Amino acid sequence: MDSILVKGNGPLSGQIPIAGAKNACLALMPATLLSEEPLTLTNAPRLSDIATMTELLQSLGAEVSSLQEGQVQALSSHTIDNHVADYEIVRKMRASNLVLGPMLARLGQAVVSLPGGCAIGARPMDLHIHGLEALGAEIELKDGYLHAKAPRGLKGAVIELGFASVGATENIMMAATLAKGTTVIKNAAREPEIVDLAECLKKMGAQIEGAGSPDITIQGVDRLHGATHPVVTDRIELGTYMLAPVICGGEVELLGGRLDLIGAFVEKLDEAGVDVSETKAGLKVKRRGDRVKAVNVTTEPFPGFPTDLQAQMMALMCTAEGTSVLEEKIFENRFMHAPELIRMGAKIDVQGGLATVTGVDHLKGAPVMATDLRASVSLILAGLAAEGETIVNRVYHLDRGYEQVVRKFSGVGAQIERIKGN
């Protein structure tokens, strides 16, 4: 198994290009199932999850070609000859459940295995099911598979989500594009990935209003056509790499970065003593003093502080001046990186959904183990701030969400290399 070796680092300088958003791309790809005509996605990230979604769509009968080293995904669902999303593919990735809504809308039936993915708490499908049932689908769970059918087609409805779930919002929105009449999703998720999916669906001929607000209205149409769409910048990758010059010193420009994607995160950085400025090509980041100040963080759905940047922020707070409290409100078990950071000399006390971090002068390099995707990159960031060498094991998590990590970090002067395992 591969590992990543990181050495404590001096100041960084240069540019890091930010890829398209994984979570946006994973929702955009199943949108091909809604139309017989081709869908082309540009600015796609090159990640193992994208390859898994490709495999899933191909298993259903879609044609998927990866062009320009994977940055362009050309999809066509002219004929969908299989409506069963198999467990062996779905278990690799949670977003696989996003084929349910589109297949149901276009074929009137779908059988989808319950998903897998990172081990961060129970992320149930009940909101997806509730929403699709409101549109007239009949769904039952048998042998770990959701069997869904809509023999009389889907009909518009008002659906209030108990929680602003991104996946449920995406699934319902896609299904509703081809339903008869009007659908209103209340308490919809507001993430940039939702807005991006809505923009793409609109290019395909869907009638959608209100994406990015708590109420999304979809007027069903008879059919959708093809489109070309650029995937929105990955705000989590953006936030992650913004922390590199904060942890190491220096100044780095993040190409493709946008303030509107990470407003709450930038507010916290400003409070901690970090300057973020807009440039023609993206965002520039540098810290104002030698050490950042401790700040408290509570994770919230968008536009609040993203749960997917909590681990990286914790790594930063380990070397901050003062004590910070990080509260995790989105996923349980999301502090699995804390014991690994403690191995590097961090002072962290975890009580349920609260982690209290007391900043130390220096972290020390150590062998550590990645427990999930975001944790693995937080350990790399901590390694850059530490004295000596840090070896991060189990980096396969990393490959699911970050493309070319070593190249991007080393491009701005970080001492990092990948060590091939057996």
CATH number of the domain that residue 414 is part of: 3.65.10.10
Are residues 190 and 83 part of one domain? yes
* Same domain (yes/no): 188, 308: no
What is the distance between the alpha carbons of residues 258 and 278, in angstroms, rounded to a whole number? 8
Kindly state whether residues 215 and 287 are assigned to the same domain: no
Q: Which domain holds residue 288?
A: 3-19+233-419
For residue 117, pLDDT over 80 is answered with: no
DSSP 152: T
The pLDDT of residue 124 = 67
Q: Are residues 278 and 407 in the same domain?
A: yes
Going from the C-alpha of 403 to that of each of 315, 376, 422, the distances in angstroms are: 21, 13, 21
Domain identity same for 182 and 244: no
Asked if 107 and 49 sit in the same domain, the reply is yes
Query: pLDDT tens for residues 185-194?
Result: 999 999 999 9
Amino acid at 145: Y
* Spatial CB neighbours of 278, under 8 Å, sequence gap ≥ 6: 259, 284
Beta-strand ranges (E) seen in 257-414 are 274-278, 282-287, 297-298, 323-327, 347-351, 354-358, 363-364, 367-369, 386-387, 389-393
Q: pLDDT for 258-286, tens place per residue?
A: 999 999 999 999 999 999 999 999 999 99
User: Which residues are catalytic, by number?
Assistant: 118
Task: Inform me whether the pLDDT recorded for 95 exceeds 90.
Answer: no
pLDDT at 79: 86
Q: How many domains does the chain have?
A: 2
Beta bridge mates, 5: 391, 417
The yes-or-no verdict on residue 120 having pLDDT over 60 is no
Same domain, residue pair 309 and 260: yes
pLDDT in tens, 359-388: 999 999 999 998 888 889 999 999 999 999
Residue 374, pLDDT score = 84
- What average pLDDT score do residues 300-325 get? 95
For residue 270, what are the contacts with CB-CB under 8 A and spacing of at least 6?
276
Domain C-terminal end among 199, 230, 261: 230
> Distance between CA atoms of 248 and 359, rounded to whole angstroms?
15
The answer to whether residues 312 and 358 belong to one domain is yes
Q: How far apart are CA 308 and CA 97, in angstroms?
A: 20
What is the pLDDT at residue 386?
Answer: 96
Percent of the chain at pLDDT above 70? 98
On whether both 336 and 385 belong to a single domain, the answer is: yes
> Are 244 and 223 found together in one domain?
no
Which among 181, 211, 230 is the end of a domain? Answer: 230
For residue 339, is the peptide bond before it cis, meaning its omega torsion is within 30 degrees of 0? no
**H helices present in 82-165, as ranges:** 87-90, 100-107, 126-134
The last residue of a domain, from among 215, 230, 245: 230
Question: What is residue 341's three-state secondary structure?
Answer: helix
